A and B are shown apart, each in its own frame.
Chain A
């Protein structure tokens, strides 16, 4: 059976593939075509496995493209991605996707690697006045937290589902959104992550009076 990864690929060399937390990596390769913050690329390693989609997690003006990904133990592609070394070949599509139009003062809500498009938007100076609510199981998985603390200050809210009581919100992003006193239904909401997180968060936002037209979602299917 013909796999659809036979189409529209460039072969690129991996520049680095760094483990940043157990099972989480940042993969870098050279930017060949311009992209818009929020866009994705499809990555592949061999023609036998369907390519998978990844959000670009670097700024529009950076020379390298960064991809933030987590390894799925039973996955087809990510265990192979995690073994890539500098100089190895990678199949990379042109950037595509339209999760790129951000209104002023957005509220970004992400779980896990779903933070990637928002990092790109912030690094490209395209998200003035943004607030970010990020969910992760353990503190190790608050990717880019130094950068986010510096950039967003107290508009950076971390929800840690398996942390002890401390300075972070203990619970999932959905728990936070349910009880968030400052929730403003007029602001634009941008959600990104697994289908479960997006669907549940969207339902909570709707129940709290946010019109559906103010909710924009990207799902990592």
Chain B
């Protein structure tokens, strides 16, 4: 059975034409899928009974419920979705006053091998389809409450660009969910060619994992620095105009004694000079066997204040869901290990 959820209007048009159904039924299907949240083809009552039967022989809506949820004392919830054979991806629901953010995964595992990341230790199993990405939003009980979505879960979104763009198209199109692109942020480690294509073909916000302005240190933390050095990423970003409507931000995990000194502040200011942007400082959630530790709070605050005094808008990301292993990859790695033990 082929899932319909995650198909674009264009794709649904070719499906209905192949089935000999009228072309306008594609638009009707998008409305059922993305506006009325139909759970079955049978619920699409303005399609003829025959059309529904015909479609049901090959297709299904294809929503998949999370297999597990863990809830943090602070209200953060982490959902575990089955994908591929015996694999899982995680989505984190993070309510905060009048907004609620969902952090979604774009791949099962990851190929990028960042030193500080648990997902990296799972290796790479595969790309998620647009439907599997959107299912993380559609199939949680808080679906209607989500105000913002961030592609910051497992995987590198720009290593799965086609499916990520497709999921964004469905979220932002009139025929789709009709979201404003201002509600969507995609985070990358800086795959330049795909990043350029993303900037040119969407108006969503962009977040870049920066973590240190120095070449040697970034190479240690993130092997991608050997292929696309951060100076090249930033030189590319400077060719575009970012405003409040379309923001570029930098993610900066604070590692004790590694990237949290005044020398780093100075180099960051120099690196980002001329780019309208903000920096989010993030506490490091330790992962097993890692030599890295998070910086003490007072140093993080000092770091923020130094950057702010140099004119870079800097925030400290609140640590959410620490009691439920919020660092991405921890929960699904555990699920994988448990599955392995059962087999």
Interface residues of A (CB under 8 A from B): 1-5, 7, 40, 50-51, 53, 96-99, 194-196, 198-199, 202-203, 206-207, 212-213, 215-219, 221
Contact = CB atoms under 8 A, between A and B. Distances in A.
A207 B289 contact: yes
A198 B227 contact: no
Contacts, number: 78
Contacts of A194: 111
B229 interface: yes
Interface stretch (B120-128, B242-250, B302-310): B120-128
Closest 4 CB pairs of A and B: A221-B111, A4-B193, A99-B226, A196-B123
Interface residues of B, number: 31
B110 interface: yes
B201 A219 contact: no
Given A53-B227, A98-B226, A195 B110 contact: yes
A218 to B, nearest CB: 5
A199 B236 CA distance: 29
Contacts of A40: 227
B140 to A, nearest CB: 29
B220 A213 contact: yes
A179 to B, nearest CB: 18
Contacts of A207: 289
A217 B201 contact: no
B196 A219 contact: no
Given A7-B193, A98-B215, A213-B220, A202 B115 contact: yes
Nearest to A216: B219
6 contacts: A98-B225, A195-B120, A199-B120, A202-B113, A219-B112, A219-B113
Nearest to B109: A195
Given A98-B225, A99-B227, 12 more contacts: A1-B162, A4-B193, A4-B196, A40-B227, A194-B111, A196-B124, A202-B113, A213-B217, A213-B220, A215-B220, A218-B223, A221-B113
Contacts of B196: 4, 7
B223 A219 contact: yes
Contacts of A7: 193, 196
A2 B200 contact: yes
B106 to A, nearest CB: 14
B226 A195 contact: no
Contacts of A217: 113, 219, 223, 226
B159 interface: yes
B229 A195 contact: no
B123 A195 contact: yes
A221 B289 contact: no
Nearest to A215: B220
A41 B289 CA distance: 35
B125 to A, nearest CB: 11
B111 A195 contact: yes
Nearest to A3: B197
B290 to A, nearest CB: 8
A2 B197 contact: yes
A214 to B, nearest CB: 9
B111 A4 contact: no
Contacts of A5: 193
Interface in B94-151: 110-113, 115, 120-121, 123-124
B291 interface: yes
Contacts of A215: 220
Contacts of A50: 193
A1 B165 contact: yes
A2 B121 CA distance: 33
Instruction: Give the interface centre of A194, A195, A218 by most chain B CB atoms within 10 Å.
Output: A195
B324 interface: no
B291 A206 contact: yes
A203 B289 contact: yes
Contacts of B200: 2
Contacts of B201: 1-2
A198 B111 CA distance: 10
